[in-house]
């Protein structure tokens, strides 16, 4: 509590250990609010005449010449709640800690603090109406130094109201997750991740919107539905912005009452066109609704063009006489192999073998899960094939291949088990095949 020393001078050394902020619980039948500890209110003139005292009714009184207005029924018992001998009065104000939310229909009291700490922030949630009343113990100043009792100096109050929104708001952007790779640089067959356009691109195909390198794209629709697994209710839908600096953005509003007791909702991103066909994020996002949270931002969906696909497959081949024991030691090439009836060098003739090396490169900055490599062995008559090939020994890393992959000596599909292809890595797969002139050609046993 501040105390005036002279006409323009105040002291702020009248501290109190009592709680500074309190909330009225409206218990005990007494709802009056009072602000200051009156025992510290001594003026600079005839100080004894400024010392508050109580009359026979317990009401506070001052010297006869003192001006000002006290709160109604200003008893020390009512004012100094925590020191009250009346249990109802003492308990009707409970201390309020910093950052505590004020309950609806509640009030605050602050009293007995020094001026250096006289800064208050008051916030009310969901109030239909608010009345802010501030008063000291004494109001008024006749310009006579002795008449100023309980006046404070340089006191500040900040007061605000927070209202629960009428809507839940969901927002985000559908964006081109190219990491800064231009359309001219994009190349679906470029497997080089150590140099060139796809090297040192941490923001490419990472599932995150990087505004410094990437921008939104038009053409998508975003919906809010009741469930990602089995949607039966659509609460709202919106086409993303189609142009301007906010292209690709959306903001969906759903009245709070529409969701009722829903614990979560699902955001769905859909696209009917052929542009940006490859997703870098899931098209479904489950949003858990949190208590007293009504805005859910940055629900973004990533896509890229065909040329910026994450996975690049490269197939190479190497001719051999079917007697090789390690197919990884062969020299592989992407160039077509020649063939002749007699066979010479690396030439292929009926009954000889061709080994294949398929390299899968993950250019993206996220893992590819459940990667399965499949390759269909050629069969005479299919896709203009002249001969039929069958899987031949030697095998390579049998644990990589699925149980339903084509067995040795048969024509069919070479297939791996589901694998994880980590971000920015590559992996090679090998298998050997024997060419024949008819479907009845057999493969030598190992």
311-436 and 167-308 share a CATH fold: yes
CB 283, CB 270: distance < 8 Å: yes
Q: DSSP state, 92?
A: H
CA gap 406, 390 in Å, rounded? 9
Write down the pTM of the prediction: 0.62
* Domain regions of the chain by residue span: 3-162, 167-308, 311-436
Residue 351: the pLDDT is 79
Judged on CB neighbours under 10 Å (0-12, 13-18, 19+), 3 is buried
Q: Which residues of 47-76 are buried (b: 16+ CB within 10 A; e: fewer)?
A: eeebebeeeeeeebebbeebebebbeebbb
Q: State the CATH class of domain 167-308.
A: mainly beta
Q: How far apart are CA 190 and CA 306, in angstroms?
A: 12
> 24-47: per-residue pLDDT in tens?
434 444 333 333 333 334 444 444
Identify the burial level of 399 via C-beta atoms within 10 angstroms of its C-beta, where 0-12 means exposed, 13-18 middle and 19 or more buried. Answer: exposed
pLDDT of residue 297: 95
Q: Both tokens of residue 410?
A: 């048969």
Q: How is residue 40 written in tokens?
A: 């510290």
pLDDT in the model for residue 161: 61
Q: What's the residue count for the chain?
A: 446
What is the model's pLDDT at position 383?
85
pLDDT of residue 128: 64
**Res 80: pLDDT:** 44
- pLDDT at position 337, please? 76
Where are the strands (E) in 115-192, listed by range? 119-125, 156-162, 167-176
Question: What does the pLDDT look like over 223-235, one tens digit per residue?
Answer: 999 999 999 999 9
Residues of the chain falling short of pLDDT 50: 1-51, 60, 62-72, 74-82, 89-96, 110-120, 135-156, 341-345, 437-446
Query: What is the fold of 311-436?
Result: Immunoglobulin-like (2.60.40)
Q: Using a pLDDT cut of 90, give the percent of the chain over it.
A: 48
- What is the per-residue pLDDT across 58-87, written as a single tens digit (0 to 9) for each? 554 544 444 333 444 544 444 444 455 555
Residue 88, H or E segment: helix 87-92
């Amino acid at each position: 509590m501040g105390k005036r020393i002279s006409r323009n001078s105040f002291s702020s050394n009248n501290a109190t250990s009592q709680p500074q902020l309190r909330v009225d619980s409206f218990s005990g039948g007494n709802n009056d609010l009072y602000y200051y500890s009156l025992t510290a209110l001594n003026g600079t003139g005839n100080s004894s005449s400024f010392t508050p005292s109580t009359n026979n009714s317990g009401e506070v009184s001052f010297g006869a010449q003192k001006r000002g207005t006290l709160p109604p029924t200003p008893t020390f018992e009512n004012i100094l709640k925590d020191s009250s001998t009346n249990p109802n009065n003492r308990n009707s104000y409970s201390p309020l800690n910093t950052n505590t939310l004020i309950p609806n229909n509640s009030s605050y009291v602050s009293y007995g603090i020094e001026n250096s700490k006289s800064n208050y922030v008051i916030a009310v949630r969901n109030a239909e109406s608010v009345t802010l009343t501030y008063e000291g113990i004494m109001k008024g100043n006749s310009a006579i130094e002795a008449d100023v009792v309980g006046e404070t100096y340089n006191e500040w109050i900040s007061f605000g109201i927070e209202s629960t929104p009428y809507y839940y708001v969901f927002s985000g952007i559908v964006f081109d997750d190219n990491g800064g790779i231009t359309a001219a640089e994009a190349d679906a067959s470029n497997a080089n991740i150590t140099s060139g356009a796809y090297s040192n691109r941490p923001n490419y195909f990472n599932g995150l919107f990087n505004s410094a390198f990437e921008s939104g794209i038009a053409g998508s629709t975003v919906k809010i539905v009741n469930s990602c697994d089995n949607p039966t209710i659509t609460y709202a839908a919106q086409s993303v912005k189609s142009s301007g600096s906010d292209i690709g953005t959306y903001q969906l509003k759903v009245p709070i009452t529409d969701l009722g007791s829903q614990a979560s909702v699902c955001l769905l991103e859909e696209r009917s066109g052929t542009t940006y066909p490859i997703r870098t994020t899931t098209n479904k996002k489950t949003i858990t609704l949190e208590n007293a949270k009504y805005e859910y931002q940055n629900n973004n969906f990533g896509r890229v063009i065909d040329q910026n696909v994450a996975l690049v497959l490269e197939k190479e081949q190497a001719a051999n006489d079917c007697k090789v024991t390690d197919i990884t030691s062969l020299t592989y090439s992407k160039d077509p192999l020649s063939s002749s009836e007699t066979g010479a060098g690396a030439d292929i003739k009926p009954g000889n073998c061709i080994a294949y090396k398929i390299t899968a490169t993950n250019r993206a900055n996220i893992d590819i899960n459940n990667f399965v490599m499949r390759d269909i062995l050629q069969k005479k008559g299919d896709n203009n094939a002249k001969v039929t090939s069958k899987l031949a020994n030697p095998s390579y890393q049998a644990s990589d291949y699925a149980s339903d992959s084509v067995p040795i000596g048969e024509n069919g599909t070479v297939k791996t088990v589901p694998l994880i292809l980590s971000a920015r890595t590559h992996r090679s797969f090998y298998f050997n095949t024997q060419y024949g002139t008819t479907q009845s050609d057999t493969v030598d046993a190992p």
